[in-house]
Every structure is written in C-alpha cells, then in structure tokens.
Amino acid sequence: MKFLEEKIKDKGQGKWSVTIEGKEWEEILKKAKNRVRTNIEIPGFRKGKAPESEVVKLLTPSKIYNEAFRISVQPAFEFARNSESKLEPMTSPEPIPFKVNEKEIIIDFVFDLKPEIKLGKYTGINSISKEKIEVTKEDLEQAINQYQQKFVMEKIRDQKETIKDGDSVTFDFKGFIDGVAFKGGEAKDHTLIIGSNQFIPGFEASMIGKGLGKTSINVKFPEDYTPELAGKDSTFELEIKEIKERILPKKDDELAKDLNIKGITTFAELETKLKSDILIQKTESIKNQFVNNVINEVIKDSEIDLPASAIKHQIQDLKKEFEEQVKRQGLTLKDYKKATGLSDADIEAEMVDDAKYRLNSYLVTSEIKIKENFVPTEKQINEKYNELATKFGVEQSYIKEILGLEQIKAEMQNELLTNFLYENNGK
C-alpha cells in the first residue's frame, strides 16, 4: 500500500489517500468476485446453484469493484492511521473511492482538520464559586431507604381504607383531553408505588385519599412533554382494584446483616459506608459541574475558528441522538415533525449552538491537556486498574481485557484535567 496526505485549505479539511495495487489488489479482486458470485440470486435457481452461463451475465465489473471497495476500506484505513501523518483529524475520516480499475484502487479518507486555537485563560478564574461538598441527613436517609426497599413487606389494606403515600396500588386508567382519549394513555392492572414519581407531576399525589372502585383525577402535562400532550389539561378515569400498605424493615443491625455487604455487620457500619459512598458521588458530581462552568469561561476567552464542515457533521450527530430520544418516547422523527410543524432544517438550526459548544469544549480541553502534558504514569495506570478491579469485584486481568491501555489512558487524562481545573480555579 502507498500513503499520501493533503490539506484542503479552503474547506478546513484534510485527506489521506491510500493506494492498493499489484498482487494485493489482485487478491482483493479475486475475493470480491467470489463473494459477488456467491450472493447472486437468479429466479428459478437456489442461491449459489445457478449455471455459470447465467451467473457470468450478472457478474459485472461495477459489482465486483463495489465489493472490492468494501473489502479494502478497513485495511486501508488501518494503514493510513498507522502511517506517519502531519494532519490531525477532528472528525472520523470518511472513505471515498477516488479511483478503481483492474490495476489499482485509490481510497480517499476525508476529515475535518483540528482548527488552530488561541487558548484563553484557564487558571485563576475566580468568578465561579465552589459548592460546599457535604453529606446531609436527607442524603443518608434516602440511601438507607433504598436499601430498606429491598426487604419491604406488603399488606393488603382493608376495603374501606384509602390510598396513602408509599402504598402499592393496582389500577386501570384511561386518559382524556377535551373528552377524547389519547394514544398511550390507557393501561389495565397497572401497579404503581405512590411517591415513586413514575407518572407525570400531580398524578400520584391526586391518587392519595382515593378508595377502591371507580374515580377520576385531573392533571396537567408538563410543558417539556411530548409535543401533542405538552402543557395540556387532562382527565384520567381510574378503577382502583387493590391497595397494599408497604411495610419497611427497621433501621437496625438486622437490616445491615441482611444486605450481605462485605465487612458490614452493624447499622452504624452501614451508615459509615453510605456516608463515604455518597461523599464520593457528590464530590464527582459537584466537581464535574464546576469544571463545566470553568470550560464555558475558557471558551469565551479563547479564539477558535470552527470550519463549517465540522459544525455540519456535529449537527448530524446531534440529530441522530435526538432521533433516538424521540423513539424512546414512542415516536418517529416523522411523527415529531408532523406534530410540531418543524422541518429538518428547523430542527438542525436549533442544534447549531449545541454543536458549536461541543466542538469548542473538545478543542479547549484538548489544548489544555497538551499544554499541561497530562500523561498518566505507569504506576498511576496500574493503580487505576486495581481500583476498578476492587470496585467491581473482579480480577485486574479482566479489567485490562475489557479496558485497553489507550482507553484507560484517555479516561485518566480526563480525570487529571478535571482535578487540575478544579484545584486551580474558583473561590
């Protein structure tokens, strides 16, 4: 294989060109021809069983070259990636067949170049305050409650009793807006724990005090709900079939023992462990939010000229993510556009700022990593592997198998960056 690279200055892009020729190309063509031959379907014959005279008619050069291109892309990309290159891709290189014939194939891998950046101030930013990190009584109570839920007992309430907060209720429901039932607003024998916040705000609270039998509640959908329901008043007809009181275990040594946590035999030890776990979680969350705010300030103080092609690619990535979110709500993107009246262009226009932010954030953090030379040592890497192995209760060799060296280095670089920005900014 041969490798060449080129900077496409007017587009802010780069290109890696890989040529495959000679015997290597001959072997790929042979493999491609066999694959095409095997997959050809001719009416009246089983796959792979048609006469050679019929197969030859459909064994066209274009089909063979297309298959040869598909076979060539991965090895060509690996060759380009491992070649000595002065160009640094910012986006995933896109393979494009530039030339293909009996003698050779030339594949171009086109990508957005990492733009030049004049990095702004990234230490001593004191306009952002650091939130106090502490474990509150409410934090601890919530964590203990989650453990209590593992051993909850349920007792069917008397027929004359009504629903109370924390009860488990089995019921049928059907939702209406302006007297018309709406799609997805109906279910039979649904079980709900009151106070679990599984339903829209106000739904569960409105059920408190209701008894067995038919009843109704009125609730308003949130403004950020699916477009066809957002902000609308609704009525739900309910039939309460069963109400169960949920009895939680006591907060004592027996609970601690039942949880079967290694090294924990008393309730006091359980509380100590939970406080430690919560402190770690809150520290990580608060530090990450603080660092995000710092990065916002660094972006404002930096000079970055983003290429239009990079913004366009980032918008397409965001659009794919948005489409997945819409699917999780039971809609297709087509349904969403119909309900909102928005076009593809409208949706993409709303994503421009987010796309720019993602790119700018990536660029400033990459630049800081380079300037501060955040390279984890071998000792730090081994300590990280050991930490993860202990955390998940597996052998260190297993962690090394699923998390390669490059991946663990990248994660540790991010940790070093976060710690650096947290320690050198704020007040």
| pLDDT tens for each residue of 277-333 | 999 999 999 999 999 999 999 999 999 988 888 898 899 999 999 999 989 888 889
Tens digit of pLDDT for each residue in 340-379? 889 999 999 999 999 999 999 999 999 999 999 998 999 9
Tens digit of pLDDT for each residue in 370-414? 999 998 999 999 999 998 888 888 888 888 888 888 889 989 999
Q: Where are the beta strands (DSSP E) in 194-331?
A: 213-220, 233-247, 303-304
Within 13 Å and on the Cβ side, how many CA atoms surround 15? 15
- Kindly report, as residue ranges, where domains of CATH 3.30.70.1050 are found in the chain: 2-114
Indicate the CATH number for domain 2-114. Answer: 3.30.70.1050
Question: In sequence order, which ranges of 5-89 are alpha helices (DSSP H)?
Answer: 22-39, 52-58, 61-82
Give the CATH architecture of domain 153-247: Roll (3.10)
Least confident span in 34-38, 173-177, 342-346: 34-38
CB 355 within 8 A of CB 318: yes
Q: Which residues, 6 or more positions from 301, have their beta carbon under 8 angstroms from its beta carbon?
A: 120, 121
Is the entire prediction scored with pTM above 0.85? no
87: DSSP letter: -
- Kindly report, as residue ranges, where domains of CATH 1.10.3120 are found in the chain: 267-423
Tokens of 296: 């916002």
Angle, CA of 61, 67 and 71, to the nearest 5°:
135
Count CB neighbours of 397 within 10 A.
9
Class of domain 267-423: mainly alpha
Collapsing DSSP states into helix, strand and coil, what is residue 180?
A: strand
Kindly calculate the radius of gyration of the chain based on its CA atoms and give it in whole angstroms: 30
pLDDT surpassing 70 at residue 255: yes
High-pLDDT (> 70) share of the chain, %? 97
